[in-house]
């Protein structure tokens, strides 16, 4: 495949490069302070200046860059498959948050290592490329960093935008500077969009149409979440035969709705237990206060507690245990969808064989939810009353719950073929060596 070109730098790109160079010390101090507050070691913090804390491995290295937890985890299954197909391939994954670094460290695929992403300043980016010398760079979702991309192109690095997702706001912003948008998007050899809408958004922003491909949402194709067998057995022993439902990845303003639904359900199901997983575990204390204010007794996972018979809520405010809780719950409400957040990944509870509930705000996974709803694996509930009715229906009608769970399992099985197609597209575009 012929090399791409992003064209000459526009005045705006030259200005951006100058400004990022000028504010680099201030930007580094701000990022470093945030990472120190999360107990990140100094040598790891220096990675944001492009100063690697690990040696570069020999051989061909492919670099994946993702913003945070969701984007990082979305590519781990793909990376695992890619390294299986190319036994000599080495992989670097970068992200920008301490939370993503901690989760990735637990789930690193073979021949893969993590670093914090360099700030998009000329010096940090140059130092990063000097050390790692990637053959290819894969940017995930909406990570469009001009210095990283332009420097990679100048060094002959093949570049891909994977799982591309561009909001209408982003499109409008880039369209104000069409020449700059073309110069940035033109650095990519391939742009794989999550869906047709995002493919059109890329074209509207100025990406070359002949390099745009319609892919799929990688977050809906990830490997099953890890399950801690010992923790699961302990939870199941504590719950016994009690009916259970789960609310996952709740945001501020959603817990109150979920708790109201749960209080309604307790009228007919006095022993029902709600497993409540906040999207951000650091909100655990605030969520605990909401549960107490609702007059509900609860146990808290972060305190090492297990639910007793008199606890109607189990607050799962820890990191990295969602797969274990999914394995314990036949009904899962996926939050981020009662408020205009866009929803979160329903594929993970589907893989666990759970019937799924969602609110109306699910644009981030629109195609996935459309298929789940059409197939009978999911139900929409837009408020506390509807949520209580949907959960109550499945609790009262075990056969209906079994049908929904079976449909969710069938949906999860169909993801393998789509993932293979994405990998083959990347292999060709990035000119990866045969295994």
Return d(Cα 77, Cα 60) in angstroms, integer. 19
Q: Are residues 136 and 269 in the same domain?
A: no
Return d(Cα 187, Cα 57) in angstroms, integer. 26
Q: Are residues 169 and 237 in the same domain?
A: no
The domain tally of the chain equals 2
Q: Give me the phi and psi of 248, to 5 degrees please.
A: -110, 140
Q: What angle do CA 216, 328, 387 make, to 5 degrees?
A: 70
Residue 396 included in any domain: yes
Q: Are residues 30 and 166 in the same domain?
A: yes
What is the value of pTM for the model shown? 0.70
Residue 222 included in any domain: no
Residue 91 included in any domain: yes
Q: What is the CATH number of the domain that holds 265?
A: 3.40.50.2000
Residue 184 included in any domain: yes
Q: Are residues 185 and 241 in the same domain?
A: no
Return d(Cα 330, Cα 308) in angstroms, integer. 20
Residue 144: CB partners within 8 Å, gap ≥ 6? Answer: 161, 184, 185
Residue 27: CB partners within 8 Å, gap ≥ 6? Answer: 20, 119, 121
Q: Are residues 194 and 159 in the same domain?
A: yes
Q: Are residues 140 and 174 in the same domain?
A: yes
Residue 2 included in any domain: no
Q: Are residues 189 and 70 in the same domain?
A: yes
Q: What local confidence, expressed as pLDDT, does residue 366 receive?
A: 84
Residue 421: CB partners within 8 Å, gap ≥ 6? Answer: 215, 216
E strand map for 34-118:
61-65, 90-95, 112-116
Q: What local confidence, expressed as pLDDT, does residue 182 receive?
A: 95
Q: Are residues 204 and 250 in the same domain?
A: no
b/e map 214-246, b = 16+ CB within 10 Å: ebbbbbbbbbebebeeebbeebeebbeeebbbb
E strand map for 210-339:
212-214, 244-250, 273-278, 298-300, 313-315, 331-334
DSSP element (H, E) containing 161: strand 158-164
Helical ranges in 11-97 per DSSP H:
11-22, 24-37, 42-45, 69-74, 76-85
What residue numbers bound the domain in which 20 lies? 11-215
Q: Are residues 241 and 160 in the same domain?
A: no
Q: What is the CATH number of the domain that holds 174?
A: 3.40.50.11720
- DSSP result, 282-309: GGHHHHHHHHHHTT--EEEGGGT----T
Q: Are residues 205 and 283 in the same domain?
A: no
In tens digits, the chain (435 residues) has pLDDT values of 445 555 689 999 999 999 999 999 999 999 999 999 999 999 999 999 999 999 999 999 999 999 877 787 778 889 998 999 999 999 999 999 998 899 888 888 889 999 999 999 999 999 999 999 999 999 998 889 999 999 999 999 999 999 998 888 889 999 999 999 999 999 999 999 988 889 999 999 999 999 999 887 787 677 788 899 999 999 999 999 999 999 999 999 999 999 999 999 999 999 999 999 999 999 999 999 999 999 999 999 999 999 999 999 999 999 989 999 999 999 999 999 999 999 998 989 999 999 999 999 998 888 889 999 999 999 999 999 999 999 999 999 999 999 999 999 998 887 777 888 899 999 999 998 765
Q: Are residues 47 and 170 in the same domain?
A: yes
Q: What local confidence, expressed as pLDDT, does residue 365 receive?
A: 84
Q: Are residues 151 and 234 in the same domain?
A: no
Residue 280 included in any domain: yes
Residue 399 included in any domain: yes
Domain boundary among 186, 215, 244: 215
Residue 3 included in any domain: no
């Amino acid at each position: 495949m012929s090399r791409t070109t992003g064209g000459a730098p526009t005045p705006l790109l030259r200005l951006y490069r100058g400004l990022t160079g000028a504010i680099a010390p201030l930007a580094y101090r701000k990022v470093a302070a945030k990472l120190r507050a999360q107990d990140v070691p100094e040598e790891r913090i220096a990675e944001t200046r492009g100063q690697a804390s690990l040696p570069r491995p020999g051989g061909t290295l492919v670099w994946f860059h993702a913003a945070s937890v969701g984007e990082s985890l979305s590519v781990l299954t793909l990376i695992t498959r890619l390294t299986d197909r190319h036994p000599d391939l080495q992989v670097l994954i970068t992200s920008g948050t301490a939370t993503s670094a901690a989760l990735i460290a637990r789930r690193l695929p073979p021949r893969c290592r993590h670093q914090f992403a360099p700030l998009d300043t000329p010096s940090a980016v140059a130092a990063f490329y000097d050390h790692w010398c990637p053959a290819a760079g894969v940017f995930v979702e909406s990570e469009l960093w001009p210095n990283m991309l332009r420097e990679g192109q100048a060094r002959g690095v093949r570049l891909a935008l994977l799982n591309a997702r561009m909001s209408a706001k982003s499109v409008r912003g880039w369209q104000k500077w069409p020449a700059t948008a073309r110069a940035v998007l033109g650095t990519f050899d391939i742009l794989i969009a999550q869906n047709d809408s995002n493919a059109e958004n890329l074209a509207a922003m100025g990406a070359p149409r002949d390099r745009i491909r319609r892919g799929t949402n990688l977050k809906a194709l990830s490997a099953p979440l890890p399950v801690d067998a010992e923790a699961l057995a302990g939870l199941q022993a504590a719950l016994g035969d009690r009916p259970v439902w789960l609310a996952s990845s709740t945001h501020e303003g959603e817990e109150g709705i979920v708790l109201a639904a749960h209080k309604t359900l307790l009228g007919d199901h006095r022993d029902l237990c709600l497993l409540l997983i906040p999207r951000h575990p650091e909100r655990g204390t605030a969520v605990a206060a909401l549960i107490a204010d609702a007059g509900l007794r609860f146990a808290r996972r972060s305190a090492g507690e297990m639910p007793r018979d008199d606890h109607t809520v189990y607050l799962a405010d820890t990191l990295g245990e969602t797969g274990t809780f999914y394995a314990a719950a036949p009904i899962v409400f996926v939050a981020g969808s009662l408020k205009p957040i866009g929803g979160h990944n329903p594929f993970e509870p589907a893989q666990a064989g759970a019937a799924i509930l969602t609110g109306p705000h699910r644009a981030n996974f629109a195609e996935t939810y459309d298929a789940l709803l059409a197939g009978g694996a999911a139900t929409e509930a837009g408020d506390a009353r509807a949520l209580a009715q949907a959960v109550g229906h499945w609790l009262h009608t075990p056969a209906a719950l079994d049908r929904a769970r079976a449909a969710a399992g069938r949906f999860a099985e169909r993801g393998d073929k789509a993932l293979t197609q994405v990998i083959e597209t990347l292999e060709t575009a990035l000119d990866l060596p045969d295994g």
